[in-house]
Amino acid sequence: MGGQAMDRAAAGRFVEAWHANWCKVDIDAVVSHFADGAEMRSPLALKLTGSPVVAGAENIRAYWRKAYGDVASADLKILSWSWDAAIARLTVWWQLGDTRASEFMDFDSTGRVVRSEAFYGK
């Protein structure tokens, strides 16, 4: 996915790959879409690490392994998604069990995620 600027069609392909990777809990595949210096924010990160921000692709990988490494698969459902070309932001609304979330991802000019943030609800 990386290597070219994102547009709506590429964002749709990204959502499909992101969804498939999370259903398999393939953390390496998910992280492969992140720039080296990416930042991820999540209330779960705050709970597990004491900070809501995880900075750097390798730290994000380590965090997700800690949070989800014992999960073999996930029945993640994509509820909706939107692409804002003006700011290169993808927003995905998803559900896993009774947890609903919206997650945005900002992309750089090469199509890699530089910032993401998750917001959870019930």
Q: H or E segment at 1?
A: none
**55: CB partners within 8 A, 6+ apart:** 37, 38, 39, 40
The residue type found at 81 is W
Structural domain contains residue 112 = yes
Predicted TM-score of the model (pTM): 0.90
Residue 57 dihedral angles phi and psi, to the nearest 5° = -55, -40
pLDDT at 122: 65
Which domain covers residue 53, as residue numbers?
8-121
DSSP-derived 3-state class of residue 85: coil
Q: What would the mean pLDDT of 47-57 be, rounded to a whole number?
A: 94
pLDDT, mean of residues 67-84: 93
Q: What is the CATH number of the domain that holds 55?
A: 3.10.450.50
Q: pLDDT band at 72, cuts 50/70/90?
A: confident
Task: Point out which residues pair with 121 in neighbouring strands.
Answer: 100
Q: Which amino acid appears at position 118 of this protein? A: A
**Domain tally, the chain:** 1
